Structure 1
């Protein structure tokens, strides 16, 4: 089978690898499409140090069950079934797992991040059966690859305690910012606005029915209250840099919550007095629980929103390296690019089309 292998910083190559065999408790997933995540880009460039030579990345995926390993019957999966994959592999036995907080499991492994796991930028991958989430055949197939980033945004909003009285500011209108804003709407926030300097992304946000603010159009401390009808009570920082954290603290209301979900920088400086003397709360957010992932998959199937606007590029495996490079250099304005390991000619990839070369 073909897979996209990271050879080093700024280097990706398509290689022929053996088709993996599912171990007991595992499922072989024939990959239809996998989204290029911002964390993949930062790993590709070496910025975050969380991707490694020899690794097959990819964790925002949709596919079909290709083969069932032993001891998987209890999960009720069948060959050819449309599925997505929860990338967080947890032990299932610790206190965090028992509390449905698998993202905090001390021994967690994340598909697409752990270099020992051959992941979703490939024609096929093996995953634990308990991480496979079935999807309706009525769902637009591409939506399956959006579940993971949408679950990230949903968890961030939940971590911030988003509710009906909240005025929510999202900083950064990329895929995670879009997901966080949609999650705030999903949770019934009183008002939601997204600060985003890129005009193409602001247009996308408007198409999704969201209010977009251009931070270059004036002082953010003036623009945001105008858009929200008051200072934010909850800010979701989907960038994660010193500048955006400072902006969040400068514009938010006293006693507000700031959720850090973006991972642009491994370290940020925080103006401590803006936290302590004005009693703000800074909250970390990483991934999602198993229930939040499954609930998001259900929401994607039921929402009336046209989520197709979230996908702005489609490439096959041979074009993926160039897409990574153009996205990393800022030359490609696309918000979300999907990689189709089997090619883009048949996006539906019916069960009959699921063929992987050895």
Structure 2
């Protein structure tokens, strides 16, 4: 089978390798669509240390059952999305529903664990979610939508109803999915900030009430003007670098909450005095739980969330090397979600 390998900083390679053979309790899944995650690209660029070559990246994917185990719930031909984060189901975290932090294993396509940018993978039944009525590319958005879902649902219905202003920092895939989910839930006065006008245009199409470009505007002054000095109830940070993390805190009203999804920069400095004296809250958001993942697929299947404006580029898996090269030159941000089809 064909597999796209990360072999070193800014180096990808298409290889022909053996098709994996499933164990007695595993399915063989023919991968149909992969999304290139921002973390895949950052790893490819050598910025994070979260990809260890040589390895196969990829964790946003959908496919079809090519071979099912004896007595398996799903039959050959069933369309499926894969939950890519291993979990044991019995540890203290899993019992609390926090399978996202289960120490059982690393997410597919991270560090040295091979992922889905290939033609076939083997997987246990508990990680499969069936779907129908949408394309493989749309179904592959389940994973990034689930990340945004977990962040957005850290805001309760009551808090959402009371919030005057909510800010999303970063109009990449996750930030835009958070925007779509907030509008789906009825949030009012959602502001989105990004340094590229193209992505802000997509945000407007998805229902953003206000747009801020910190490259051409004074970020804090714009937030102050938009909110008439009230400032922000909840900020969702979906970039993961020091300047945007700082912005996510400085914009908050007294008692406000920042939800951090971005994870590009390992160590940052924060204004502790500001956090203490304004009684601010910071909530971390790491991937997703099972219920949120399944509900994200449901929202996609029922056409409640429109991902088509984000799907800007589609390549066959064979052209995956070129896809990553093209992303290196994505200076205007017009390549948003890049899909690999196989």
Q: TM-score, normalised by structure 2?
A: 0.93
CA distance in 1, matches of 2:122, 2:176: 29
Q: 1:305 to 1:179 in 2, by over 3 A?
A: closer
Could you tell me how far 1:85 is from its partner in structure 2? 0.9
Could you tell me how far 1:55 is from its partner in structure 2? 0.6
CA distance in 2, matches of 1:163, 1:305: 19
Over aligned residues, Cα RMSD in angstroms? 1.8
Which runs of 5 or more residues in structure 2 are unaligned? none
1:142 aligns with 2:140: no
Match of 2:215 in 1: 216
Q: 1:119 to 1:143 in 2, by over 3 A?
A: same
Q: 1:62-141 counterparts in 2 under 5 A?
A: 62-70=62-70, 73=72, 76-116=73-113, 118-136=114-132, 138-141=133-136
Match of 2:161 in 1: 164
Structure 1 residue matching 2:326: 3-state secondary structure: helix
CA distance in 1, matches of 2:213, 2:252: 17
Match of 1:270 in 2: 270
Maintained 8 Å contact 2:49/2:111: no
Match of 2:174 in 1: 176
Match of 1:190 in 2: 188
Maintained 8 Å contact 2:179/2:206: no
1:248 aligns with 2:248: yes
Maintained 8 Å contact 2:180/2:305: no
Maintained 8 Å contact 2:183/2:207: no
Q: 1:34-45 counterparts in 2 under 5 A?
A: 34-45=34-45
Q: Deviations over 1:12-63 (max 9, x none)?
A: 1110111111213322111111000000011111111011112111011011
Match of 1:336 in 2: 337
Q: 1:183 to 1:318 in 2, by over 3 A?
A: same
Maintained 8 Å contact 1:58/1:121: yes
CA distance in 2, matches of 1:34, 1:55: 16
Structure 1 residue matching 2:240: 3-state secondary structure: coil
Q: TM-score, normalised by structure 1?
A: 0.89
Match of 1:308 in 2: 308
Q: 1:9-24 counterparts in 2 under 5 A?
A: 9-24=9-24
Count of paired positions: 336
CA distance in 2, matches of 1:17, 1:122: 9
Q: 1:260 to 1:305 in 2, by over 3 A?
A: closer
Match of 1:348 in 2: none
CA distance in 2, matches of 1:81, 1:278: 52
Could you tell me how far 1:274 is from its partner in structure 2? 1.4
Match of 2:147 in 1: 152
Could you tell me how far 1:160 is from its partner in structure 2? 4.5
Structure 1 residue matching 2:299: 3-state secondary structure: helix
Match of 2:296 in 1: 296
Could you tell me how far 1:248 is from its partner in structure 2? 1.2
Q: 1:272 to 1:92 in 2, by over 3 A?
A: same
Deviates more, 1:206-215 or 1:57-66: 206-215
Structure 2 residue matching 1:121: 3-state secondary structure: coil
Which runs of 5 or more residues in structure 1 are unaligned? 342-358
